[in-house]
Homo-oligomer: A and B are copies of this chain.
Amino acid sequence: MKFGTILLYGIVLGLILVLPAYFQYQFMFMTYGVEWHIGFIALLFLVIGVWVGNQLWANRKLESAQNTPIVRSGNPGAPGLSQREFEVLCGIAEGLSNQEIASKMHVSLNTVKTHVANLYDKLDVKRRTQAVQVAKTLGLLS
């Protein structure tokens, strides 16, 4: 997020905080009592919080969307996958189970599991679907 945006938010929030504290003292505070005043402040800031939350989230979403292509162009083969690990990754991307990959590669299920585990470690993921997604953004898979 840009610094100017943060500053803008800060100014808006500050104004909204200060203005009521300045004005309400003379009207609502004395007229309706402190309970209503506090309730008003609470409701006001609840709404502001919702708004701010949405603003923050929108920015985060934009950033993540922009990040994806950057990573792709920067890292061609960075994770350093070995031959077998890459073959296993391809099998995963095809939607095969570990057992099917094992049969295809003529190795045991345990071996595939080991490759898969090392693969996850290098790609820094925890699930096979995530591995596929990350591998595609890294340009490892088409």
Q: Contact residues of A with B, CB < 8 Å?
A: 13, 17, 21, 34-35, 37-39, 41-54, 56-57, 61, 65, 92-97, 125, 127-134
Contacts and interface: CB of A to CB of B under 8 A. Distances in A.
B17 A95 contact: no
Nearest to A134: B95
A131 B95 CA distance: 7
The dominant DSSP class at the A interface is helix
Given A46-B52, A48-B46, A49-B46, A97 B41 contact: no
Nearest to A92: B129
Contacts of A92: 129
A11 B136 CA distance: 45
A41 B43 CA distance: 10
18 contacts: A13-B46, A41-B42, A42-B44, A42-B45, A45-B45, A45-B46, A46-B49, A49-B53, A50-B52, A53-B54, A54-B57, A61-B65, A92-B129, A95-B129, A95-B133, A95-B134, A97-B127, A128-B129
